[in-house]
Amino acid sequence: RKKMELLLLLIICQCTINSVKTHSLSKPNIILLMADDLGIGDLGCYGNRTLRTPNIDRLAVEGVTLTQHIAAAPLCTPSRAAFLTGRYPIRSGMAAFSRVGVFLFSASSGGLPSEEITFSKLLKQKGYATALIGKWHLGMNCESRNDFCHHPHSHGFDYFYGLPVTNFRDCKPGQGSVFLKGVQKALVIPVQLIGIAFVSLAILRYIGLLKVPFQALGYFLLTVTISLVVLIFFFYHFRHLNCFLMRDYQIIQQPLSYENLTERLTKEAMQFIGRNTDSPFLLVLSYLHVHTALYASENFKGKSKHGLYGDAVEEMDWSVGQVLDVLEKHNLSDKTLVYFTSDQGAHVEEISSAGEVHGGYNGIYKGGKSTNWEGGIRVPGLLRWPGVVQAGAYIDAPTSNMDIFPTIVKLADAQLPSDRIIDGHDLLPLLQGKVTQSKHEFLFHYCNAYLNAVRWHPGNSESVWKVFFFTPNFSPEDSNGCYDSHVCFCHGGFITRHDPPLLFDLSRDPEEKVPLTPETESRFYEILRVVHQAVDNHTRSLHAVPNQLSWANLLWKPWLQLCCSSLFQSCYCDYESGGSALEVHSG
């Protein structure tokens, strides 16, 4: 009888242990921390020895470091679309065929389509409180200034506090402009041609060789003048029209003030956690750091060894520490999966008007933001979940920011969509050490909507092959970026096509210095054959969708402009220090 009682007790204990394990893996809190334009070489845990990032490094010590974590695109808008949906941005129409690959204006009509399923939508359906704090950059309105079809609320976030577009140099007085030089270049020749055409028509009309009413010439001149006035008005008021802070549907600060901005974002994140200590939550804290315009609060300004850029990195690290501390305060650390990454690599071409380097460091990797060289897409990937994820482990297998979607959807006990292709894969088996091989045999690297390169990691090999169909033309030629144009572009005279394609083995040449040839790699043509077959299979899986980054969707539309006062009052308000914000759709 005693043996039976002991056996029964052991069975009960084992069931209890299994129950605890199951419970611990079910519906954890999720915190996703995303930097903007941060280089993989900017962090101590990835080899930096001069910038101080102890809190981010703590995630590496207490969790897993992904050493080949790949952004699905080298630009903000498509990368973030892929992150939220687990799908290549080409599938959702969030990849441009034009030169401009991101949203530039708050009153554009393009954005993440409502048909797309985000992880926030699925987690919300499972009872999660969901919040996005910081940068959005995935659209706002479609047809009217109050439809909010692309707003974070329309994509599963209960709470939004942040910027609808992004942080521009133009948002901060004295930091220069990302548009002015391009606009000047674009306008000079058209204005000259229009002027010559108008004068020529007027002369021909005057001497009687052209029978055109003066009224028609007047209308022509009026149309050109109005167009120029609207354009000048828009860029003169760019900061007010595009750089503003929202809470849910309300504008609370227009234009944006950088004073204590990271402190405000961090406070919002901590308060959201504090409001949801007794129920599962999803928090996406999307930092403005370290996209230009650079900024730092007084506590960090001038404190780093790398100027304002370093100050910004160290302030962001402080913010990460505050989030980790509030988890400990509420005894939530063991119940929370924390992930840290960047949307793409550092923007190496960022140089201030005073000559100060405002871009980050991509370590040994070539290129940067806007390119599919490793410096543009290999980003930090840190995951911590005490007691569940291995502590201090390194994973060298290729992973993607698209993998977060299936990973957290599964943890929330939600079902992956069955009506569409999900390109990401569940990371948990890798994170727990149950497997060592990534499910990503192939990863496809797009430059806007153009397939630029393919990564192949055969299951029976240490090699990671990377094939380039075209590469950007760096300017100057011997530099590491496209300094003459500020970013690299994806077509026409901005690229060089390769036939046969360039081939690298990243396991032996992670710096992508020496392309392989049939003479130096005996399997050269076999590797290309396998990759071309993979491209064919991938291309067949794509379906035509509306292009959200077409010129028609990118251009500024005055009727979509959000404004907390009126255009004639320069869209000015500041309710951050008190008062009540105006509903932007009420007037």
Q: What is the pLDDT of residue 175?
A: 86
Q: What is the pLDDT of residue 580?
A: 43
Residues 320, 33: contact at Cβ < 8 Å? yes
Residues 134, 287: contact at Cβ < 8 Å? yes
User: Sorting pLDDT into bands at 50, 70 and 90, what band is 223?
Assistant: confident
In the chain, where the domains are located:
29-167+243-438+546-560, 179-236
Mean pLDDT of the 56-69 span: 98
For 478, residues 6+ apart whose C-beta sits below 8 A from its C-beta are none
Residue 390, class by beta-carbon neighbours within 10 Å (0-12 exposed, 13-18 middle, 19+ buried)?
A: middle
On the question of pLDDT at 578 being above 80, the answer is: no
On the question of pLDDT at 473 being above 90, the answer is: yes
Render pLDDT for 250-309 as a digit per residue (tens, 0 to 9). Answer: 999 999 999 999 999 999 999 999 999 999 999 999 999 999 999 999 999 999 999 999
**Would you list the DSSP string of 442-472?**
EEEEEETTEEEEEEE--TT-S--EEEEEEEE
On the question of pLDDT at 350 being above 90, the answer is: yes
Q: Which of 137, 150, 151, 289 is catalytic?
A: 137
Question: Would residue 76 show up in a list of annotated catalytic residues for this protein?
Answer: yes
Better pLDDT: 571 or 182 = 571
CATH topology of domain 179-236: Helix Hairpins (1.10.287)
Question: Would residue 240 show up in a list of annotated catalytic residues for this protein?
Answer: no
Q: Write a three-state SS string for 141-171.
A: CCCCCCCCCCCHHHHCCCEEEEECCCCCHHH
Superfamily the domain 29-167+243-438+546-560 falls into: Alkaline Phosphatase, subunit A (3.40.720.10)
CA distance 587 to 579: 18
Q: What is the pLDDT of residue 184?
A: 57
Render pLDDT for 442-461 as a digit per residue (tens, 0 to 9). Answer: 999 999 999 999 999 999 89
Residues 126, 27: contact at Cβ < 8 Å? yes
User: Sorting pLDDT into bands at 50, 70 and 90, what band is 213?
Assistant: confident
Better pLDDT: 200 or 340 = 340
Q: Which of 45, 69, 76, 564 is catalytic?
A: 76
Single-letter residue type at 20: V
Render pLDDT for 484-537 as a digit per residue (tens, 0 to 9). Answer: 999 999 999 999 999 999 999 999 999 999 999 999 999 999 999 999 999 999
